[in-house]
Amino acid sequence: MTSNGVLAESGSEMESDYTRAVLRLALTPGVGGVSFRALLERFGSSQAALEAGAAAVAEVPGFGLNRARAFVEGRSAVDVEAELEKAAARQVRIIPYGDAAYPVALTYLPDPPPVLYMRGELLPLDCRAFAIVGSRRSSLYGQQQAERFAAGLAGAGFTIVSGLARGIDICAHQGAMKAGGRTIAVLGNGLSSVYPPEHARQAEEVAAHGAVISEFPMDAEPLAENFPRRNRVISGLSLGVLVVEAGRKSGALITASAAAEQGKDVFAVPGRIDSPFAFGAHQLIQKGAKLVQSLEDILDEYPDLGLSAASQGGGAQQALLLGPRLDPQEEAVLGALDDEPQTADQIAARAGLPAAAVAANLTMLELKRLARSVPGQRFVRGRAAQQ
């Protein structure tokens, strides 16, 4: 069971059956992140939810009898094999919730993606991720700043996360790759295609330097309602979000809002006061986002990671060698860990801390290599804590 009370699923020798069950549940009409989590809480696994009758499903919060009947009817019509074939044809890997490769950071969302479609590879080092987002319509100044900060953060050991969109996003990806760093693109459409289409080549480059991921079925179109969901994954993967330029209705503001709700740090690059591209960033600063002028303005917020602008070229391994520092809550959580896997709830009980605090501190301890997640949403002491 996770810190949110969800029975976490894990793969086994029947990995393909497990993936098929989660995928069928994810593809059932009307099932999103919230309802997926609710079904797991009620039935314990995707397979059990797929076998439940309408009366039992109706008791799940947010359902009711009519929706439960539609769910039961819809799940049987899902063509899982066709979706798997489409993914295989595009060399796309499907990572179900609960799989060891599923990003730990996303399990803390109230509406985690049931599955992730991925081209490329996610590495343990990607848990130290930072998002850079902004408007599609952007100035040359904004594009230069996005590339500048992405290169600096990548050189300091962060994986850069963005949305592959025109303008600020694509410059962030390019800055990270030019610095020899890793980057992750989160799309608002299925991976049968790339949106926008002119970024198809860049998508291949991103996959070679990290990963291109989506929670949407392979053939999903880039519909407007997909992008807020995409944005909460961008912030969910990241320790913080930097908004470079944003107009009054920019999707970057949605990402910043999601980050704030998730307890993540929000930063903004100021612009000209008479520039329409700067309105959103200035509004964020007025509401408490940190004004950023240099790389140090961001790195100073993560002293426990031992990062600095001087670590460029040394990358993440050099940053980790500087040694972690712990606050009292981290000390308590670390003291509750041992070599025997435990759930976050068990750790919370031993540490005497709220589950939410334990979840946040486990993330920081993982970054410092003092804690390590294992299959089944459980945790053990990390290698650095054993030295």
* Structure tokens belonging to residue 89: 């044809």
- Please state the rounded mean pLDDT for residues 116-121: 97
- Whose CA is closest to 190, among 168, 223, 165, 151? 223
Which of the pair, 315 or 129, is modelled with greater confidence?
Answer: 129
Reported as a pLDDT band with limits 50, 70 and 90, residue 149 is very high
- Looking at every residue in the chain, the average pLDDT score rounds to 86
Reported as a pLDDT band with limits 50, 70 and 90, residue 197 is very high
Measure the CA–CA gap between 197 and 329, rounded to whole angstroms.
Answer: 46
Measure the CA–CA gap between 297 and 148, rounded to whole angstroms.
Answer: 14
- Please state the rounded mean pLDDT for residues 29-57: 93
Give the number of other Cβ atoms within 10 Å of residue 100's Cβ: 12
Least confident of 74-78, 93-97, 249-253: 249-253
Least confident of 61-75, 262-276, 354-368: 354-368
- What is the value of pTM for the model shown? 0.76
Reported as a pLDDT band with limits 50, 70 and 90, residue 358 is confident
Give me the pLDDT at residue 307, please: 57
Strand order in the sheet with 93-96: 93-96, 115-120, 210-214, 183-186, 159-162, 129-133, 240-243, 265-268, 290-291
Give me the pLDDT at residue 248, please: 79
- Please state the rounded mean pLDDT for residues 60-78: 93
Tokens 């963005």 label which residue? 162
Which of the pair, 83 or 382, is modelled with greater confidence?
Answer: 83
Give me the pLDDT at residue 289, please: 93
At 104, which helix (H) or strand (E)?
Answer: helix 104-107
Tell whether the model's pLDDT for residue 204 goes beyond 60. yes
pLDDT tens-digit readout, 311-323: 444 333 333 333 4
Architecture category of domain 121-210+217-315 in CATH: 3-Layer(aba) Sandwich (3.40)
Measure the CA–CA gap between 361 and 370, rounded to whole angstroms.
Answer: 11
CATH superfamily of 15-112: 5' to 3' exonuclease, C-terminal subdomain (1.10.150.20)
Q: Do residues 154 and 132 make contact, with C-beta atoms less than 8 angstroms apart? A: no
pLDDT tens-digit readout, 281-320: 999 999 999 999 999 899 988 877 755 554 444 333 333 3
Which of the pair, 249 or 235, is modelled with greater confidence?
Answer: 235
- Please state the rounded mean pLDDT for residues 230-237: 95
Please tell me the chain's helix, strand, coil percentages from 3-state DSSP, rounded to the nearest 5.
50, 10, 40
Least confident of 55-69, 195-209, 269-283: 269-283
- The domain limits of the chain are 15-112, 121-210+217-315, 328-386
Measure the CA–CA gap between 181 and 238, rounded to whole angstroms.
Answer: 15
Contacts of residue 39, Cβ cutoff 8 Å, sequence gap at least 6? 25, 31, 46, 49, 57, 60
Give me the pLDDT at residue 5, please: 34
Q: Hey, what CATH class is 328-386 in?
A: mainly alpha
| Percentage above 70 pLDDT, the chain | 88
At 16, which helix (H) or strand (E)?
Answer: helix 15-27
